[in-house]
Amino acid sequence: MAVAGTEVVGLRTARQDEADALSELALRSKAYWGYDAAFLAACQEDLRLRPQEVAVRRVRVAECAGRVLGFATLEGDPPDGELGMLFVEPDTIGGGVGRLLYDNVLDDGGRLGFSRLTIASDPYAEGFYLAMGAERDGDAPPSTAGALPRLVAWPRRPEPSWVGAWTGGRRVVLVGNVAEFNAQFGATPAAGPDHYSCLALFGSPQPAAVILPEEVDEFWLPELARELGWAEVRVYSGIAENGQTSEAIRTRPEILEHVRSSGSAVLPWGRTPEFERIMPSPEGVLNAVRRYESKAGSHALFCAISPGHPGITVPTQRPITSRRALARELASNTPIVLKSDYGVGGSGTLIVTAGTGRVRALARRWAHEGVLLEEYVHGSGPYRNPTFDAVIGAAGEVHPVGVGLMRIDGTSYLGVTVGPGVLPDALVETATGFGVAVGRALAADGYRGWYDVDFVTDQQGRLAPTETNLRLTGPAVAFTIQTRLDRLRGGRHLVRTLDHLRLGARLRQAPLRTHLERLASECQSLGATLLVTIPTAAFDPVPHVGVAIAARTAHAVDQAEAVVRAANQELGEIFSDLDVSSSARSAWWPRRRRPRPQRP
Render 26-51 in DSSP notation, one character per residue: HHHHHHTT---HHHHHHHTTTTPPPG
Element (H, E) at 515: helix 509-525
The residues near 307 (Cβ < 8 Å, ≥ 6 apart) are none
Lowest mean pLDDT among 79-88, 184-193, 240-249, 262-271: 184-193
* pLDDT at residue number 132: 93
The residues near 365 (Cβ < 8 Å, ≥ 6 apart) are none
Residue 191 pLDDT more than 60? Answer: no
Round to whole Å and give the CA distance between 480 and 478: 6
Whether the Cβ atoms of residue 403 and residue 386 lie closer than 8 Å to each other: yes
Element (H, E) at 89: none
When pLDDT is cut at 50, 70 and 90, the band that residue 365 belongs to is: confident
| DSSP string for 314-380 | PPPEEE---HHHHHHHHTT---EEEEETT--GGGGEEEE-TT---HHHHHHHH-STTEEEEE-----
Residues in the chain: 600
Round to whole Å and give the CA distance between 186 and 182: 8
CA-nearest of 233, 291, 239 to 262 is 233
Element (H, E) at 391: strand 386-392
Domains of the chain, residue spans: 3-153, 161-293+382-585, 316-375
Mean pLDDT computed over 95-118 = 95
* pLDDT at residue number 535: 95
The residues near 351 (Cβ < 8 Å, ≥ 6 apart) are 335, 336, 337, 376, 410, 411
* pLDDT at residue number 125: 94
Distances (CA, A) of 542 to 32, 188, 201, 548, 594: 63, 21, 24, 20, 7
When pLDDT is cut at 50, 70 and 90, the band that residue 6 belongs to is: low
Distances (CA, A) of 312 to 19, 316, 388, 571: 55, 13, 13, 45
> How do 371-375 and 386-392 pair as beta strands?
unpaired
**Count of CB atoms situated within 10 Å of the CB of 314:** 23
* pLDDT at residue number 139: 67
Strand, helix or coil at 56?
Answer: coil
Whether the Cβ atoms of residue 385 and residue 456 lie closer than 8 Å to each other: yes
CA-nearest of 443, 557, 414 to 494 is 557
* pLDDT at residue number 353: 78
Whether the Cβ atoms of residue 435 and residue 309 lie closer than 8 Å to each other: no
Mean pLDDT computed over 523-529 = 96
Instruction: Tell me the CATH class for 161-293+382-585.
Output: alpha beta
* pLDDT at residue number 597: 42
Residue 190 pLDDT more than 50? Answer: yes
Round to whole Å and give the CA distance between 473 and 395: 22
Round to whole Å and give the CA distance between 47 and 50: 10
- The upper half-sphere exposure of residue 251, i.e. CA atoms within 13 Å in the direction of its Cβ, equals 8
Whether the Cβ atoms of residue 187 and residue 344 lie closer than 8 Å to each other: yes
Which stretches does DSSP call E strand in 436-537? 449-457, 463-469, 494-502, 528-534
Lowest mean pLDDT among 470-474, 510-514, 595-599: 595-599
Mean pLDDT computed over 463-479 = 96
* pLDDT at residue number 590: 40
Supply the DSSP symbol for 312: B
Task: Report the chain's C-alpha Rg in angstroms.
Answer: 28
Whether the Cβ atoms of residue 407 and residue 415 lie closer than 8 Å to each other: yes
Amino acid at 250: R
Whether the Cβ atoms of residue 83 and residue 153 lie closer than 8 Å to each other: yes
Instruction: Give the mean pLDDT of the chain.
Output: 89
Which one is the CATH code of 3-153: 3.20.20.80, 1.10.10.10, 3.20.20.70, 3.40.630.30?
3.40.630.30
- pLDDT tens profile 26-46: 999 999 999 999 999 999 999
Query: Environment class of residue 577 by beta-carbon count within 10 Å: exposed (0-12), middle (13-18) or buried (19+)?
Result: exposed
Residue 150 pLDDT more than 90? Answer: yes
**Count of CB atoms situated within 10 Å of the CB of 546:** 25
* pLDDT at residue number 242: 85
Domain 316-375 is of which CATH architecture?
2-Layer Sandwich (3.30)
| DSSP string for 523-582 | HHHTTEEEEEEE-S-TTSSS-EEEEEEEESSHHHHHHHHHHHHHHHHHHHHHTTTS---H
- pLDDT tens profile 427-455: 999 999 999 999 999 999 999 999 999 99
